Structures are given as structure tokens and as C-alpha cells.
Chains A and B, each alone.
Chain A
Amino acid sequence: EVQLEESGGGLVQPGGSLRLSCAASGFTFSSYWMAWVRQAPGKGLEWVANIEQDGSEKYYVDSVKGRFTISRDNAKNSLYLQVNSLRVEDTAVYYCARESSGWYRFFNYWGQGTLVTVSS
């Protein structure tokens, strides 16, 4: 059974940093693209970033470029999101998601999310 478990969220002041983690199990982690998707309170879903199987390719939504960094450790079956220079508008539940196989990929498994609150 595929399982994704996020951690690392919390309350942080504007300008602060956090490192979000996602522990994966139940599948061969190193074989899949992985992604972070966020959802602001009461709002819709927003793709944040994704990373190729070996970490060599990474893509980001424009609003987080230069502030967020996605990474992975295949030996630890773990995905990370380093979030720096946080803004109030970054407040959201951050979901870890596994992408499907193939060239065109969707999100076929999701974690339960970790809440990041940016407030003074």
C-alpha cells in the first residue's frame, strides 16, 4: 500500500524558514517523480514543485522560485521542501504527492498534508 506522510509544518513568522518532509513507503520511491501541492485555507489546489526520480530535474511554480527548494533522498525514501523567505500568502496545507509513470503525469497518491502558517 502506498503511503505518504508529511511532517515539518508549523507556525513561522514572515521571512522565516521551514523544512517540510515526506516519508514514502509501499512503492519503489526512486522510480517516481514526486511533487508538492498546497492548499491555502478555504481555497483551491496549487502545484508548487516537482522533482525527477534522481533529482536532476526540478520545476517550480513562479511564485516560489528562488525561495523554495525541492529535494529527495532515495536512500531514505524521503522528499523534502525547504521553504525560505516565507510570506503570509504561503500559509497553506502542503501535500506530498506521487506522480504517475510516463511522460504526462498526474498525482495518483497523496499524503494527508502538513499545515504551514505564516503569521506575526
Chain B
Amino acid sequence: DIQMTQSPSTLSASVGDRVTITCRASQRISSWLAWYQQKPGKAPKFLIYKASSLQSGVPPRFSGSGSGTEFTLTISSLQPDDFATYYCQQYNSYPYTFGQGTKLEIK
């Protein structure tokens, strides 16, 4: 199984900050990586696919990069609505696996 490891597990930041979350795969997954945002008590929301392609309607302050085993999600200027938990997920092979999540908190 491919293990996905996110860092940090928790990130404290302020509105307007630029933040980056890292996701590492235990094996090469090309660019078959997605990012999701989840708020408490809600279903995950799909943000980015193929490592860097933004889902329609997702604000351009979100961006993704990487390939192989190392990936990043960057939010260029944090907005109040962005404080949530973020998950990466590989869809290169079964079983599909998620990172453990990064909780983005207000500083």
C-alpha cells in the first residue's frame, strides 16, 4: 500500500498569510494526487486533482504542485473561510490512500 504523509499535522496562521502543506508518498505516484478541504461536521470538498489542476469554482489563491513522491498545497493569502482540515489522496493505485490531514488553525 502507498502511505501518504502530510506535514505539518497542525498549522497556525493568520488571515492574509501564505501557507504551504506538504504531502509525501511512500512510492512514486506520478501526478495522481488530489487535495480536499473538510470543515467540522461536513463532507470533504474536492479542491485539486492531478497534483496541480484546480477544480472549477475553487479560488485561485489555492494552488498545488509536485510529482513523483513530493507534493504541496499552497494558499497564497489565507481567508477566514480557509480554516479547515486538508487531506491529500493518491489515486495511482489501490488501495486509494489519504494523508492523515493537516488542521489549519487561526493564530
Contact = CB atoms under 8 A, between A and B. Distances in A.
Nearest to A112: B43
A108 B55 contact: yes
A104 B99 CA distance: 18
Interface stretch (B15-23, B61-69, B74-82, B90-98): B90-98
Interface residues of B, number: 24
Contact of B95 (A62, A104, A107): A62
A88 to B, nearest CB: 21
Nearest to B44: A110
A79 to B, nearest CB: 15
B96 A47 contact: yes
A44 B43 contact: no
A46 B87 CA distance: 11
A45 B55 contact: no
B89 interface: yes
Interface residues of A, number: 21
Contact of B91 (A105, A109, A110): A105
Contacts of A27: none
Interface of chain B, helix or strand or loop or mixed?
loop
Given A44-B87, A62-B95, A110 B46 contact: yes
A95 B43 contact: yes
Contacts of A95: 43-44
Interface in A82-120: 95, 100, 104-113
Interface of A: 35, 44-47, 50, 59, 61-62, 95, 100, 104-113
Q: Which 10 A-B pairs have the closest CB atoms?
A: A106-B34, A47-B96, A110-B43, A45-B98, A61-B95, A44-B101, A104-B32, A108-B46, A44-B100, A106-B49
Given A61-B95, A62-B95, A106-B49, 13 more contacts: A44-B87, A44-B99, A44-B100, A44-B101, A45-B44, A45-B89, A45-B101, A59-B94, A104-B92, A106-B46, A107-B34, A107-B36, A113-B43
